[in-house]
Amino acid sequence: MTTYLLTWNPNRWNWPQKELERLSRRTSQSKKVRDGWSTGNNKNLSKCDRIFLLRQQKEPMGIMASGTVTSRVYEQSHWDKTKRSKSKKSNHVDIDFDTVLDPHDWPLLATDSLKRLPVRKQLWSTRSGGVEIFSDEAKTIEAAWKKHLKGIQFRANKLGASNAFSTLPIKIKKLREGGTTEVTLDVYERNAKVRKYCIDHWGPACAVCEMTFEADYGESGTRFIHAHHLNPMSKAKQKRSVDPINDLRPVCPNCHSVLHKINPPLKISDLRALRRGRLLRK
């Protein structure tokens, strides 16, 4: 089995949103979906090969899908309208996709994160699909992909939202709390003025969900909000300069926790898109 990187440039081909939503929904339920995809100039792909699909040239960019090749390479009418009008053809394979992330709903395995992996950096700037990924690189990328899917809980509920809570009786043992234990922590120094200047500029509304504590809790919630570091404090081994306007954003405690649920943290734009997708489906 060989692993290949295929690409999608939304500026050149529009993936119908309804179809993208369908593929994403079905794969989130652990169902495979078959579709065809261009392999660029590469005709060497064969059955059982592994593929990753990279969205590029338009944010959000990164790996958004994975699957297994189920056919030999074949020619069909070119996916590009201009070239198709000239009767040109392109190379394609059929793929059983096991995962498709709809960028409107789910954060992708971002290109910035991929560039930090110990693999060839030129993989993430290729303009043509069908690039072979070396076996040691494939293992690294596969591990990062699995970790990402687990972090965003893509398959957290295989039964679907309507079956999120089981009606089967569950025996719960009584548990004990209240003891004391000694814990060693790394504590990162904070500067209260940094938070103040951040809120002075951006306001007290959460950059993700837009809630304000003052609206919900009145005067007691005035200017209460967390300040999220876009470049995590945990990366700083010593004191560093921080720009309160460009380096921080106000976020509520709930959104702040979700941002840091995976490492590196989610981007605010990705969590906003993820939340927007959930609201639209309600």
pLDDT exceeds cutoff 60 at 126: yes
Per mean pLDDT, which range of 202-211, 245-254, 272-281 is the poorest?
A: 272-281
CATH superfamily of 3-151: ph1033 like domains (3.10.590.10)
- Please indicate, yes or no, whether the overall pTM of this predicted structure exceeds 0.85: no
**Paired tokens of 272:** 């906003």
The rounded distance, in Å, linking the Cα atoms of 96 and 36 is 9
The rounded distance, in Å, linking the Cα atoms of 226 and 253 is 6
Q: What is the per-residue pLDDT across 140-153, written as a single tens digit (0 to 9) for each?
A: 999 999 999 988 88
Q: What is the per-residue pLDDT across 44-91, written as a single tens digit (0 to 9) for each?
A: 999 999 999 999 999 899 999 999 999 999 999 888 888 888 889 899
Residue 282 confidence (pLDDT): 45
pLDDT exceeds cutoff 70 at 22: yes
Question: Which residue has 């809630």 as its token pair?
Answer: 211
Residue 45 confidence (pLDDT): 95
Q: What is the per-residue pLDDT across 160-183, written as a single tens digit (0 to 9) for each?
A: 333 333 334 445 556 666 666 665
Q: What average pLDDT does range 263-275 have in this prediction? A: 86
Residue 129 confidence (pLDDT): 86
Query: What is the CB-side half-sphere exposure of residue 175 using CA atoms within 13 A?
Result: 4
More confident residue, 176 or 2: 2
Residue 237 confidence (pLDDT): 61
The rounded distance, in Å, linking the Cα atoms of 52 and 141 is 9
